[in-house]
Amino acid sequence: MRLGIVIVSFNVRDLLRSCLASVYGDVEHSPGLEATVVVVDNASADDSAGVVRTEFPQATLIASPENQGFARGNNAALRLLGFDKASPAAPPPDAILLLNPDTEVQPGALAALTAFLDSQPQAGGCGPALQYGDGSFQHSAFHFPGLAQLALDFFPLHGRLLDSRLNGRYPRRLYEGGRPFPVDFTLGAALMVRGAAVSAAGLLDEGYFMYAEEMDWCQRFHRAGWPLYCVPAAHVTHHEGRSARQFRGAMTVALWRSRLRYYHRYYPAWKEWAARRLIAQGMAAEMRRMQAAFAGGAITPAELEARLDASRQVLALVHSPV
């Protein structure tokens, strides 16, 4: 199989180095796998691009002069690999793996994912089982989000509900069973997609800067007749959210802007209206919690103002016309 591996990175040089080392190590031990790695550096200030040039010269580097976000960055690599072109110089890869720079591919993961696609020609894509850096379990596949999941974001009830179908989770027994199982979508941290499915559904929607773009893409795969699966035999470590933590307030706004875009595209009008009301109520409750935390000395005045400002921006998005 010819596999294109796309890594979009921003200011996580050391994690990127570990990610690339794990990728090339696994490729080397995967007979029959022909891999092309494309790294898109989103104007990092930590010499991430220099690390790629000097330590991984076999990778193709796209050094962007600006932070394009996740969707645009991946699309730049997909176009380079021959997708979305009338007459590419070479045929696009058989499959694409979107991989976050804060991941490490465990031995045998690429072979397990590509073998699954080889054996299941009807499958549009698949994702691995994820684990956190300490080795603990991380949900890697989800149901498309509903109103119950949105409510639990703001008003968590019993802890068991957070790990349930109401919160979009698949049972852990499916992961522990080791057999592939169908899913609505897998996290974009490690998502392998068949090239034919990309050609059928199109590239990622660049209206998303960050967050929810993989949900949107997977919706379009399903609608184009390409179902998705989780392959628990493939393991990837995910040091979650290292890039996003650099700009917490901005990323909070980006998260809800993306979710609102997703709700508008895929929810019926009544459900979108309900989602917007839930977010407004949830943000108001969150602002009260922040003020209580400040009163109790848990956060500084600067932290309080930054969080309140992000919440005000989200509320403005909720009440703005589409």
Question: pLDDT, tens digit, for every residue of 286-299?
Answer: 999 999 999 999 99
Q: Say how far residue 64 (Cα) sits from the centre of its chain.
A: 20
Which of the residues in the chain have pLDDT under 70? 86-88, 158-159, 241-247, 322
How many whole angstroms separate alpha carbon 149 and alpha carbon 228?
21
Return the pLDDT at 244. 47
Return the pLDDT at 262. 97
**What would the two tokens of residue 207 be?**
């209206």
Decide: helix, strand or coil at residue 77.
helix
Q: Say how far residue 181 (Cα) sits from the centre of its chain.
A: 19
Proportion of the chain in helix, strand, coil states, percent, rounded to 5: 50, 20, 30
Output b/e per residue, 150-186; b: 16+ Cβ within 10 A.
bbbeeeeeeeeeeebebbbbbeeebbeeeebeebbbb
Return the pLDDT at 99. 98
Return the pLDDT at 92. 93
Q: Say how far residue 220 (Cα) sits from the centre of its chain.
A: 15
Return the pLDDT at 90. 77
Return the pLDDT at 158. 66
Give the single-character DSSP code of 38: E
Return the pLDDT at 168. 93
Nearest to 8 by CA among 41, 37, 35: 41
Rounded alpha-carbon distances, angstroms, from residue 130 to 56, 99, 119, 165, 190: 25, 12, 22, 18, 8
**What would the two tokens of residue 93 be?**
């890869």
Angle, vertex CA 119, rays to CA 113 and CA 123, nearest 5: 70
Asked if residue 197 lies in contact with residue 96, where contact means CB atoms within 8 angstroms, the answer is no
Return the pLDDT at 242. 56
Burial tier of 207 (Cβ tally within 10 Å: 0-12, 13-18, 19+): middle
CA within 13 Å, CB half, 118: 11
What is the CB neighbour count within 10 angstroms for residue 118?
Answer: 13
**What would the two tokens of residue 176 be?**
């522990």
Angle between helix 248-266 and 213-223 (nearest 10): 20
Rounded alpha-carbon distances, angstroms, from residue 183 to 104, 131, 238, 314: 23, 18, 19, 30
How many whole angstroms separate alpha carbon 226 and alpha carbon 195?
11
Give the single-character DSSP code of 21: H
Asked if residue 142 lies in contact with residue 183, where contact means CB atoms within 8 angstroms, the answer is yes
Class of CATH domain 2-244:
alpha beta
